[in-house]
Copies of this chain bind each other. A is one copy, B any other.
Amino acid sequence: MGTELLATYAIPRRGDWRRRADEMAVGMTVGSWTDLPALEQERLAQFLGRVRRCEPISEDWAHVAIAYPAANLPPQLSSVLTVAFGKLSLDGAIRLVGLSLPDSWSEALPGPRHGAGGVRERLGIPQRPLLLSIFKSENGRTLPEFVEALRQQWAGGADLVKDDEIFFADRGAPLGDRVRAARDLAASLAARSGRPAPLYAANLTASGDRVVDQAARALAAGAEAFLVSPYAVGLDTLTALSRLEPHPILLAHPAFAGAFINAPGYGVAASVALGLLVRAAGADVGIFPSPYGSVALPRDDALAVGRALAGPDARHPALPAPAAGLHPGLVSRLVADFGLDVVINAGGAIHGHPGGTQAGARAFRAAIDRLSNPDGPVSPELLAAWEKWGEGSR
């Protein structure tokens, strides 16, 4: 944190790379500097970018940190992308590897409205990892089928259930109907158990400019949580969602982010794209590829995303939700990586459990419960999961 927008880039140590750093700082703020008359310089100094750090990090690469005065842009993340990585992104091999927002933005961009604490309070679960189950094959589903699939996931012990992010073909079970049906089902479960109701996160399907209106209507129908893909609809749209009242619980999906986090030397570090930026935009839960499973992030990158979601001072953390290819045997490893404030995000190993969806959720919950009682008996569902996907390691 500081008074400036501080962006750190990895650039190749080729040619006069230190001069390139100076040109970046000047070019993206005041355009030119040394040719300017003294009077102009005096007036424009408040907008001038400055190189704060410039050091080799390997044989081939250097890190360059540039400070952009907060006066240069409004507190909104689209403008951060435009100023800090707009034209620069096009400038050959360059990667945005770090970002810190000006202090003065903390009111406009307070981050998660619920965060780890708020989500736990709503669910009445103070400490253990949370289980987030994903619908599978939702396209074309009818409302009764949706309700039955939701019931199975919740009955098995999923704390949150979310739509698939590609679920747009919802004529058979439109968003408003899903929200109302989920609300009723949750209420009946809560009445029976005497515990707070589980959560359903509906996928927002409107076009980027109408997502906020769609969410407001769903909130009025009783929605509490949404799934949104900020790199498809825009980071500012996520921010606008976080400003709705009552604040929805927001799950940010990493859709499209692979286009710019995966290539070495280009794009944006995962910790910035899926950590810092989605947290600043107001996500309460940040979904990202876990270090394990099918679609994977390198472990160091995934850990850095987790740290970035927790925030610079760990006071109002968003919850990290590593995802893709997870099974119950990986739960203890995920907790070792991300701590207890983690959301275990699973789909395939829930619906693909030999005993079906409900058993699949139970197996995950059993793996979570074993964290505090590692020598207790192994439930049959967990055993079946271990047999299918492996026991993992502690």
- Residues of A at the B interface (CB closer than 8 Å) are 28-32, 43-44, 46-47, 71-74, 76, 78-79, 81-83, 85-94, 96, 136-137, 139-140, 164-166, 168-169, 205, 207-210, 212, 229, 231-237, 239-240, 253-263, 265-268, 289, 294-295, 324
Contacts and interface: CB of A to CB of B under 8 A. Distances in A.
A233 B254 CA distance: 17
A91 B237 contact: no
Nearest to A72: B169
B267 A82 contact: no
A168 B44 contact: no
Contacts of A78: 207-208, 229, 232-234
A237 B139 CA distance: 26
Given A78-B229, A79-B232, 18 more contacts: A29-B139, A44-B139, A47-B139, A73-B168, A76-B208, A78-B233, A81-B229, A82-B232, A83-B166, A85-B255, A90-B261, A93-B262, A208-B234, A209-B239, A233-B234, A259-B268, A266-B267, A267-B267
A98 to B, nearest CB: 15
Given A29-B139, A233-B236, A266-B262, A256 B207 contact: no
B166 A86 contact: yes
Given A30-B139, A78-B232, A212-B209, A258 B168 contact: no
Contact of A256 (B85, B93, B263, B324): B85
3 nearest A-B residue pairs (beta carbon)? A234-B234, A86-B255, A89-B258
A263 B95 CA distance: 11
A261 B267 CA distance: 9
Given A136-B31, A260-B267, A262-B90, A208 B232 contact: no
Contact of A209 (B81, B83, B237): B237
Contacts of A81: 229, 231-232, 255-256
A258 B295 contact: no
